[in-house]
């Protein structure tokens, strides 16, 4: 019987080393009860605390800064393994790695060094960027306002899709001042005036707390507001590519999770169809074929993500050396967009195909096997493949650059 994650004494004993076999031991522990948590809507605070204590969020920090020095390829490979265990938990960290990459990994000032120290010590960052207002297509100007208040500011606004913020220690809020200058405001989630609502009711990713955050006259110190400038934070070329590829790695993990569930299902299955070729389901060639197809889907999804990660690593290496990164960043954005198109399709097909290894009894709610398809469909829907494919076609046929903002 699967049990919920409740044993907070289950912690990694070593610093965050990307090659440590203890990571998989931790992920296997988190996988226990994942289906029940999602089915019964038990928020995974315990699992997040385990990853916080293991300093999972510090993987991308350099070793000399207290992290694991992970490349993007290594980060996405381990994110796929976590997502195979629990796609909700992996998704919660997507925004953390966005904030940590842009404002903590290579700090520009004392405040950046303070954020880096928080990441090193296990702090988790959320993100609140999207609003539900009727902005025109391509609009990036938030209605969330940053107004002067003494030597600092006050923040007022409402955000949606604040994924992971309910579990976080701090949150990055996108805002604009009276002159419509864009800024990233990074503040503790416990600060007065911040309200985090667990009102996400999507069909999938039910535990990511991807709902509303409200900011009412929240105090913001001057150093906590980072205004956009070229080459920093959101001013980087294709600044959102690493976040998009992290999300695709979660989808690849869902394909892996569907395979793992199908294998376990076929191994424990006793009854089969009356017209089956063999009395024992595990010996049925057709059911074995379904497992083989699921395995191929999971392999191809992971390989595709890691190939795109290599392009992102080339961009990151150039930035670390202080070299021009425009062409490399555009190449990485193209690779990530192409990866999404392929991986989404593979995961959605796997979420359905796993039932071929089970039959009608596999659809019982107690097993909650439909969560794999629902989770993949939910993630894929917020960033439609059709727009990615069209943009790639326009690039290849007419030389139209990919959009530099938003979901690229």
Nearest alpha carbon to residue 285 among 273, 293, 277, 275: 277
Residue 405: what pLDDT? Answer: 78
The answer to whether residues 170 and 189 touch, using CB atoms and an 8 Å cutoff, is: yes
First to last CA, the chain: 42
What pTM was computed for the model? 0.95
Residue 153: DSSP 8-state: E
Q: Dump pLDDT digits (tens) for 280-316.
A: 989 999 999 999 999 999 999 999 999 999 999 999 9
- 126-152 average pLDDT score: 84
Q: Dump pLDDT digits (tens) for 198-238.
A: 999 999 999 999 999 999 999 999 999 999 999 888 989 99
The answer to whether residues 376 and 254 touch, using CB atoms and an 8 Å cutoff, is: yes
Sequence-ordered alpha helix ranges (H) in 359-399: 371-381, 385-398
Is the pLDDT assigned to residue 140 strictly greater than 70? Answer: no
Q: Dump pLDDT digits (tens) for 227-277.
A: 999 988 898 999 999 999 999 999 999 999 999 999 999 999 888 887 888
Residue 3: what pLDDT? Answer: 39
Residue 232: what pLDDT? Answer: 87
Is the pLDDT assigned to residue 5 strictly greater than 50? Answer: no
Helix (H) or strand (E) holding 218: strand 213-220
Q: How far is CA 73 from CA 45, 186, 239, 257, 309, in A?
A: 27, 27, 17, 20, 5
Is the pLDDT assigned to residue 95 strictly greater than 50? Answer: yes
Residue 14 banded pLDDT, cuts 50, 70, 90: low
Residue 174: what pLDDT? Answer: 96
One DSSP character per residue, 119-132 reads: HHTT--EEEE----
Helix (H) or strand (E) holding 195: strand 194-196
Q: Dump pLDDT digits (tens) for 168-186.
A: 999 999 999 999 999 999 9
Is the pLDDT assigned to residue 137 strictly greater than 80? Answer: no
% of the chain beyond a pLDDT of 90: 82
Residue 58 vs residue 136, higher pLDDT: 58
One DSSP character per residue, 83-118 reads: HHH-HHHHHHTHHHHHHHHHHTSS-SSHHHHHHHHH
The average confidence (pLDDT) of the chain is 93
Residue 56: what pLDDT? Answer: 96
Q: Dump pLDDT digits (tens) for 44-60.
A: 999 999 999 999 999 99
Is the pLDDT assigned to residue 12 strictly greater than 80? Answer: no
Nearest alpha carbon to residue 104 among 90, 118, 93, 94: 118
- 109-122 average pLDDT score: 96
CB atoms within 10 A of CB 126: 25
């Amino acid at each position: 019987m699967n049990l919920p994650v409740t044993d907070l004494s289950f912690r990694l004993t070593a610093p965050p080393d990307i090659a440590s076999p203890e990571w998989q031991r931790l992920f296997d522990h988190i996988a226990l009860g994942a289906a029940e948590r999602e089915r019964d809507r038990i928020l995974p605070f315990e699992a997040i605390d385990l990853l916080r204590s293991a300093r999972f969020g510090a993987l991308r920090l350099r070793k000399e800064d207290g992290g694991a020095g992970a490349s993007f390829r290594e980060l996405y490979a381990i994110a796929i393994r976590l997502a195979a265990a629990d796609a909700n938990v992996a998704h919660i960290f997507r925004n953390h790695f966005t904030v940590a990459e842009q404002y903590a990994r290579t700090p520009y000032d004392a405040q950046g060094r303070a954020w880096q120290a928080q990441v090193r010590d296990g702090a988790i960052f959320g993100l609140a960027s999207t609003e539900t207002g009727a902005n025109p297509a391509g609009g990036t100007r938030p209605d969330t306002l940053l107004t002067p208040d003494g030597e600092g500011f006050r923040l007022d606004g409402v955000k949606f899709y604040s994924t992971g913020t309910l579990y976080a220690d701090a949150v990055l809020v996108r805002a604009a001042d009276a002159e419509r200058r864009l800024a990233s405001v990074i503040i503790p989630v416990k600060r007065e005036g911040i309200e985090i609502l667990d009102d996400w009711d999507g069909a999938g990713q039910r535990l990511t707390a991807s709902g509303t955050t409200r900011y009412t006259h929240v105090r913001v110190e001057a150093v906590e507001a980072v205004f956009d400038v070229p080459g920093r934070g959101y001013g980087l070329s294709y600044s959102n590519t690493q976040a998009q590829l992290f999300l695709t790695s979660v989808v690849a993990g869902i394909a892996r999770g569907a395979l793992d569930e199908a294998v376990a299902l076929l191994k424990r299955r006793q009854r089969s169809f009356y017209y089956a070729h063999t009395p024992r389901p595990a010996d049925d060639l057709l059911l074995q074929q379904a497992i083989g197809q699921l395995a191929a889907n999971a392999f191809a999804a992971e390989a595709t993500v890691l190939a795109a990660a290599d392009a992102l690593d080339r961009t990151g290496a150039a930035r670390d050396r202080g070299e021009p990164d425009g062409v490399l960043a555009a190449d990485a954005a193209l690779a990530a967009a192409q990866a999404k198109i392929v991986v989404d399709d593979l995961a959605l097909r796997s979420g359905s195909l796993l039932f071929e290894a089970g039959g009608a009894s596999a659809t019982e709610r107690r097993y909650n096997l439909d969560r794999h398809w629902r989770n993949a469909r939910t993630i894929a829907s917020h960033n439609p493949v059709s727009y990615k494919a069209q943009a790639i076609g326009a690039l290849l046929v007419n030389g139209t650059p990919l959009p530099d903002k938003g979901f690229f």
